[in-house]
Chains A and B, each alone.
Chain A
Amino acid sequence: MNNWNWDIFFDAFPIVIQGLGITIGLTFACYIFALVFGFVWTFLRRIPYKPINWIVTWVMEFIRSTPPLVQLFFIFYALPMVPVVGVALDPFTSAVLGLGVHFSTYIGEVYRSGIEGVEKGQWEASKALNFSTTKKWTKIILPQAIPPTIPMLGNYLIIMFKEVPLASTIGVVGILQMANDYGAQHWRYLEPLTIVAILFLVLSYPSAILVSKLEKKMNRRFDKKAPTGSKPLKEEGKGAVM
């Protein structure tokens, strides 16, 4: 422990913490993007046409099983070079797009398992009561499908918070980049990186406890396990009910 220097710790702390706003802001921006885009995947996966289902499943699988870091680089460095559609995006927007799309594939699966968790009788009942498709979804299915997924969605917020520092690699100046910059200037990485670790721990640990409490409450209320969305994808055997 002879190398630990409290002076550097206190010197670096106010500097590193300046990045916290960006880190948290980026987390929520990515999260909201993923929440919205997740619906797109859920919708696409329900198209009752086998080839499309197959393609959507494998596109999702491709995004899920390749590194988000490479996806960030693709969006930041490669997208501007793609003919015609290519656009140059700033680091923050690139990160929102990259991490947002990556995690939307997980969020989409959470939604899907929520929808699958709605009992068959509910679908039949809404048919028997002659609901329109829109009414069926907004009044019967979604109000039952979404609440059980809330703890897992909360979990993904925490997971994404911990993935956001990847964005420092394309120049988003969150707490990790602040620490790296400080390290490069003063040639001291130990203290600033420890500060980053502490900040993550202080923010994510209480949130995790909160989510697990919520999960227990939900499990009791719905008498089943909350969906996780992390199971391997499988193509639908036949067209899903729309």
Chain B
Amino acid sequence: MTPRVRLPHPGGLTLFLMLDQSFYKGVIIIFSTIGEVFPVLLKGIEITIVVLVLSAIFGYLFAFIAGLCRLSNNLILRKFTGFYVEVFRGTSLIVQLFWLYYAIPMLFGFDLGSNLLAGVLAIALNYGAYMSEIVRGSILSVAKGQTEAATALNMSRFQRMRFVIFPQAVRMMLPEFGNYLIQMLKATSLVSLIGMTDILYHGNILRSSDLSAAPTVYFLVLVFYFIIALPLIFLTRKMEDISKKGVAS
């Protein structure tokens, strides 16, 4: 089945050309504002990237800690991390963010100090919980024969994990970790809601000062995020390829 491309009808074309003045005005506004909007949004990039990088570092860290704890022999440790994972997977990131931002100071009488800490902590704890499942699943899915071969070479529990299981499990985790990096990038936009001056925050300010600029502003905000996402997308594709190699089947 080939798509039928419908060429514009001559009549339609005339209609198109005869659109009233406001259309052209609108188009002109959209393009003329790009020049004003762009440099303002640029100011937010730094915060977005800082939040992303910190969230990713702590997110992966929490994922490994929680993932390994859930495989531990210690029942209390296992139950406790299980509770953490289910709570953070079972509720919304935006709720967690507000909760950490508003509730922590009230509950424990101390301020997290800054919205940066609350934002990074929320994103890292949330995605750390999701990714811990990947860590756990990957370790469990390394073929049983690998552990047996390592035992036959008289490796200790720790050595088996370090030399045999873990390197293979990490290869399996890579593509999902890449996917979650993109999810975390998207999640960073939430920190604008607790007053951090990221890309979206600057966009919102621009929109509230000039409502007619909204299309330009939000389209450009989307483009900004997409440009940051692009290398992450290619990275994820690359990780897919890497993970296909070097894993026992």
Report which A residues bind B (CB closer than 8 A): 1-4, 47-49, 52, 61-62, 64-71, 73-74, 77-84, 133, 162-166, 168-169, 176, 180, 183, 188-190, 193-194, 196-197, 200-201, 204-205, 208, 230-232, 234, 242
Contact = CB atoms under 8 A, between A and B. Distances in A.
B179 A78 contact: no
A66 B229 contact: yes
B91 A3 contact: no
B207 A77 contact: yes
Contacts of B86: 201, 205
A214 B160 CA distance: 34
Highest count of chain B CB atoms <10 Å: which of A133, A168, A180, A190: A190
Nearest to B93: A162
Interface residues of B, number: 61
B3 A3 contact: no
Given A84-B26, A194-B99, A232-B236, A70 B94 contact: no
A170 B209 CA distance: 17
Contacts of B1: 133, 242
Interface of B: 1-3, 19, 22-23, 25-27, 30, 86-87, 89-96, 98-99, 102-103, 106-107, 109, 175-176, 178-179, 182, 185-190, 193, 200, 203-204, 207, 211-215, 217-219, 221-222, 225-226, 229, 232-233, 236-237, 240
A67 B225 contact: yes
B241 to A, nearest CB: 11
B151 to A, nearest CB: 28
A206 to B, nearest CB: 10
A65 B95 contact: no
A200 B193 CA distance: 20
Contacts of B95: 165, 176, 193, 196-197, 200
A232 B226 contact: no
B208 to A, nearest CB: 9
A164 B190 CA distance: 13
Contacts of A165: 92, 94-95
Contacts of A230: 176, 179
A168 B214 CA distance: 19
30 contacts: A62-B222, A66-B186, A66-B222, A67-B188, A67-B225, A69-B200, A73-B221, A74-B219, A77-B207, A77-B211, A77-B218, A81-B211, A83-B22, A83-B30, A162-B91, A166-B94, A180-B98, A189-B98, A190-B102, A193-B95, A193-B98, A193-B99, A193-B103, A201-B90, A205-B86, A208-B89, A208-B90, A230-B176, A232-B179, A242-B1
A179 B191 CA distance: 19
A78 B96 contact: no
B143 to A, nearest CB: 16
